[in-house]
Amino acid sequence: MYYFLLVVFVFIAFLLIVVVLLQRSRGDVGTAFGGMGQGVFGPGGVDTILTKITYWLGFLFMFIAILLALTHPSKRGSLLKDEGARAPQKTQQSIPERQGAPSGTPPESKGR
């Protein structure tokens, strides 16, 4: 089920990209830089079939993304609980136990 949804998800993503690229732009370059174009304050216009397809593909894209997140075949549970249960890894080198004093150094006196 998960892999079927994944294939459908990728297919919908591809279709969404194609449909968005096929649409006509709503304004000119002047509207992007603060100019007043006809698309900003003009009549709303009619939704074309490409616009409606974009709405539906966007809805399906988000819905299937949520389904994929909920049906992922990995281990269930909290990531935060798993992080706390792991044993910490030692990154420092352990200090070797005290060995005999190197030659040429005075021995420690125990009676200080």
Q: Render pLDDT for 95-106 as a digit per residue (tens, 0 to 9).
A: 666 666 666 666
Q: Which residue has the higher pLDDT, 50 or 44?
A: 50
Average pLDDT over residues 22-49: 63
* pLDDT attached to residue 87: 61
Phi-psi category of 95—alpha, beta or left, where left has phi over 0 and alpha has psi -120 to 50?
Answer: beta
Nearest to 40 by CA among 50, 28, 51, 48: 28
Band (pLDDT 50/70/90 cuts) for residue 59 is very high
Which two three-digit tokens encode residue 92? 């420092």
Write out the residue range of the structural domain in which residue 8 sits.
1-24+47-73
* 25 vs 37, residue with greater confidence: 25
Work out how many domains the chain is built from and give that number: 1
Report which of residues 111 and 67 the model is more confident about. Answer: 67
**Domain for residue 52, yes or no?**
yes
Is the pLDDT at 109 greater than 80? The verdict is: no
Distance CA 108, CA 97 (A): 17
Q: Is residue 29 part of a domain?
A: no
Flag whether 85 is in a domain. no
